[in-house]
Amino acid sequence: MKIVGIQASPRKNGNCDILMDEVFKSAKENGAETNKYYLDDYKIEPCHACCSCGDGVDCIVDDDCNEILNSVLDADVLIFSSPIYYGQMTAQGKLFTDRFYSISRNPQKSFEGKKVVLIFTHAAPTGTYDEYINLTKKALFEYIGFNVVDTIDIGGVQEPGDVKGLNDVISKAKEIGNNL
Ligand SMILES: Cc1cc2nc3c(=O)[nH]c(=O)nc-3n(C[C@H](O)[C@H](O)[C@H](O)COP(=O)(O)O)c2cc1C
């Protein structure tokens, strides 16, 4: 099983990253192959809505995003993780997820049936962004064909590493990795 992690937090070893690594760790113990992209390390332009992809051609924007999208297409499972910045995913995450359009509009490409796990962390209490995470963002992934198998929404974590002290959420991340 191939798992690709898309890390939309610019903080390496931050809360999102720690949770993604816990999922990876237990999945690897079960034989999974993992690969992680830190979006902040890549040049990713916004979708320019040229809609060339609707004609069955690859996205014509010449940046790093197509490589990452191809890696998601090649994987069985996507782990997408972002902190909440001003009530939404990070700008890095938004730039990337808007580029899903180049797959969902292309009749020769599809995310249909791939599993996705969503991980969101934030400083405000757990549940504050329930509607955004569990309705809006979950619906986005489902709309383009992913099967959302689990979601972690953990609040009350501000500083990088705060999540390490939360045994329940660490256990949940491990369990998710085990069940993939
Ligand atoms: C620019 C910025 C905006 C933020 N906006 C919010 C917010 O609107 N609500 C919230 O609860 N936390 C907010 N936070 C806190 C982060 O969501 C929180 O620290 C998160 O756990 C960071 O995850 P990371 O360690 O993986 O980067 C913000 C942090 C930054 C840097």
| pLDDT value for 166 | 97
| pLDDT value for 54 | 86
Q: Nearest to residue 87, comparing CAs of 140, 132, 40?
A: 132
CATH of 2-179 among 1.20.1250.20, 3.40.50.360, 3.40.50.1100, 3.40.50.2000? 3.40.50.360
Is the whole model's pTM more than 0.95, yes or no? yes
Cβ of residue 121 lying under 6 Å from some atom of ligand 1: yes
Q: What are phi and psi of 121, to 5 degrees?
A: -125, 155
- Nearest ligand 1 atom to the CA of 10 is 27
* Cα-to-centroid distance, 135 and ligand 1 (Å): 20
Q: What are phi and psi of 40, to 5 degrees?
A: -65, -20
* Cα-to-centroid distance, 7 and ligand 1 (Å): 14
Ranges of each domain in the chain: 2-179
Please identify which residue in the block is written with the tokens 């690969």.
35
CA distance 99 to 45: 9
Q: Nearest to residue 58, comparing CAs of 67, 21, 46?
A: 67
pLDDT tens for the chain, 180 residues long, are 999 999 999 999 999 999 999 999 999 999 999 999 999 999 999 999 999 998 888 899 999 999 999 999 999 999 999 999 999 999 999 999 999 999 999 999 999 999 999 999 999 999 999 999 988 889 999 999 999 999 999 999 999 999 999 999 999 999 999 999
